[in-house]
A and B are shown apart, each in its own frame.
Chain A
């Protein structure tokens, strides 16, 4: 029997030669001969390079050429020999596996419902009997305890069974959890009642059995309702909690749901639909209007507007043309285009986001540390308190009532205690908060990052690419007398055509935007560090800085003063001279992002000090800072020194966030208390960052800060509620108020309170789902 290497999950891994390997889980094999039969058949199928069928693991590992065949054809081949394939393999986070998971979760909830309905129906009459206290004549019969027993048995052994099973499993591991408390509490009430029913003389005293019309009968008090109603109520609580907790991970499910299942790729010159798992890097993918973009890539031809809001939070469609990056799972709106796949499978932005969020949701926030320590000791300690309660009541209560009081309060203490509320307080809020962040294009690395972010005092913004767009653009074209602006731009662009210099490229881009027809330049000459000269249509053109103009003794016609003015605004002016005379100025600047000023002013309103850091000279830096409303500027800082500047700010005793790109600013991001990286294209898993903004907008910083503050606020509410609930509930259930007010808590009320407490914590966390930036944090 041929052996395959170990495969932990269905997977498909494209290898170097573009062949694809896939593991198919097989069904219907009864012997090694079956395996050989499938193997032979698959080996002869077109496009299949190599096959191993392992009978023991029921798996076929097939290496095939995706241009000749696909998974569906392979499955058909297997089915043709009379066997089956369990599921179409996909990414582990992809569709099929997840659907199965969801189905099994739904089945669990249905099961929980059935158990609850049985418990509710059977415990209602038990509760009625218990509360009648002999006032309802119908119940004053000798066999009433037996009737209650009959009604309670199914509740214990069917509805409540998972609690007992769970408690036993935990007990064997020397652990105690929720199930332990419920099992011990209801178990004690049930066992006592069972004894009181079967052998009443063991628990009863002479004062009992004096119900009207039943004098002389021995009928001990029973507490079946404490067992059955508690189970019904706790099951109800579990149902509500399950529903609420399902919603805490909704964001991830929604993200995963964005993944399209198929892609249309060009293979051998034809467009074919293939499952998304079969798309490999380098595939040419075709996308039509209204379709989802299947994987990440770079546009080859065509143009369109793409709705990226589901991943970036940006509501406006983004224009895409050849050379632009497209992100898988976003929706193509207007045009058709072809793109080359650059990232597939686990490497796509969507999968990176899902992974980041999942990882973040497992990171524990330091704020939960106390709750974590407490919940580690909680259950055993509560059991001890309950035992002590029993002992104290047994000794302190009057002899004829001591067993009753001791038992009832013992059960109440066990049942009211709710470690789950403590345990759920932080993780659910972190889960909903980070999930909501992902929906808004803000990826937070975990609870600790959230917690630090809400305490930030100073935000350092990198200039280039963070406050500004990061690429120079023409801002002003000024023509001297006798020249026209359009003509000036056309000439300058002609001279700079093919220029590698960013300033030149900006001029050429502007000319293209204005659809100017460029002429042909002759005698082109680049003057390093100064500018260019060229001859165009018989005219001598000189383009460059003031020094170049001075050297060539160009008559500037008053352009010098205008240039100085532009420079003070943070722009870079370039002189244009035609035939030795100053013809005009073209100013280029790295433009400020349109929403930067608003974001800075919001950050200030949130009480944060905002700084700008840049390698630019003081003048340029000041101009940009003024435009967006930043007062404190750290100019002429070399990239390598940015981290040191952040450190200096931290030495002032401040909690500092650094906002920059993930590559050049990585050391500064890592040094800062919170590093916020602006997403660069399709790479969102930025190592040095605590928070990654998928969209390059500064509003993401505002969102991150507000979301962190809101999440921590919710966590504090949850923790406060959970602590107070247990700190008050347990003593009251133990009966400390009895000597003063005469209050005792019935176990039934205790169970209702318990069920509500964890539901309320989760529900409070779910309020974060409605978080949006507009609200005050």
Chain B
């Protein structure tokens, strides 16, 4: 094994470790929904390659309105799915699409794109 091969091997292993850490162990941007005058927990979510914020904290039993603004034309994010709530919405590009529901159960739920590649987390607190 020559020097170049050792360098490639070491950097390859390091790179793999980095990829695993970066994609699987990172924490997202967390945000709590605010309750407006109408008694609805509202939050704006920007959709561009992912969800910002991607960890959303809401209260149980209070209606939630998540306003998704899809800031890209890439079809990867054209649909948002809340599997546990039986909700799916097509998100037209460069438009705001409201998703409304009332969480009746506390816990952690994921919301994803139509193919489960882009993900966000919804935390319902008591």
A residues contacting B by CB (< 8 A) are: 8, 101, 104, 108, 111, 162, 165-179, 238, 242, 245, 358-359, 361-364, 372, 375-380, 383-384, 387-388, 390-391, 394-395, 399, 402, 406, 419-420, 422-424, 427, 446
Contact = CB atoms under 8 A, between A and B. Distances in A.
A166 B98 contact: no
B63 interface: no
B117 A376 contact: yes
A603 B13 CA distance: 59
A375 B23 contact: no
B72 A166 contact: yes
A402 B15 CA distance: 19
A142 B37 CA distance: 72
A359 B100 CA distance: 13
B116 A162 contact: no
Nearest to B75: A242
Contacts, number: 133
Contacts of A388: 12, 16
A395 B1 contact: yes
12 contacts: A101-B92, A167-B49, A172-B50, A176-B23, A178-B76, A372-B116, A375-B116, A380-B24, A387-B16, A394-B9, A395-B5, A402-B5
Contact of A108 (B9, B24, B79, B93): B93
Nearest to A385: B16
Nearest to B25: A174
A204 to B, nearest CB: 14
A395 B88 contact: no
A376 B23 CA distance: 10
B106 interface: no
Interface string B41-65: 0000000111110100000000000
Contact of A166 (B1, B16, B52, B76): B76
Interface residues of B, number: 44
B118 A395 contact: no
B112 to A, nearest CB: 8
Contacts of B49: 166-173, 175, 177, 179
A364 B81 CA distance: 9
Given A173-B28, A376-B119, 17 more contacts: A104-B93, A169-B50, A170-B76, A173-B54, A174-B22, A175-B118, A177-B118, A358-B88, A362-B79, A364-B83, A388-B16, A391-B9, A394-B5, A394-B8, A419-B115, A424-B115, A427-B114
Contact of A170 (B16, B50, B92, B115): B50
A399 B2 CA distance: 10
A422 B1 CA distance: 39
Contact of A380 (B4, B23, B74): B23
B86 A387 contact: no
Contacts of A446: 86
A390 B88 contact: no
A364 B115 CA distance: 10
Contacts of A245: 75
Given A363-B86, A390-B8, A394-B5, A376 B116 contact: yes
B26 interface: yes
Max chain A Cβ within 10 angstroms of own Cβ: one of B2, B5, B28, B98: B5
B40 to A, nearest CB: 10
Contact of B19 (A383, A394, A419): A383
Contact of B50 (A104, A175, A359, A378): A175
B113 to A, nearest CB: 8
A364 B19 CA distance: 29
A395 B5 CA distance: 6
A384 B16 contact: yes
B115 to A, nearest CB: 3
Given A174-B23, A175-B50, A375-B116, A391 B76 contact: no
Given A166-B49, A395-B1, A175 B119 contact: yes
A173 B118 contact: yes
Max chain A Cβ within 10 angstroms of own Cβ: one of B4, B72, B74: B74
A378 B116 CA distance: 10
A596 B98 CA distance: 44
Contacts of B93: 104, 108
A775 B115 CA distance: 31
A359 B76 contact: no
Contacts of B51: 173
Contacts of A390: 8, 12
A179 B86 contact: no
Contacts of A363: 83, 86, 88
Contacts of B118: 170, 173, 175, 177
Nearest to A383: B19
Given A8-B98, A174-B22, A359-B88, A375 B52 contact: no
Contacts of A419: 115, 117
A719 to B, nearest CB: 13
B76 A177 contact: yes
Contacts of B74: 162, 165-166, 169, 179
Contacts of B75: 238, 242, 245
Contacts of B13: 391
B57 to A, nearest CB: 18
Contact of B117 (A104, A174, A177, A364): A177
B88 A391 contact: no
A423 B114 contact: yes
A177 B116 CA distance: 10
Nearest to A97: B92
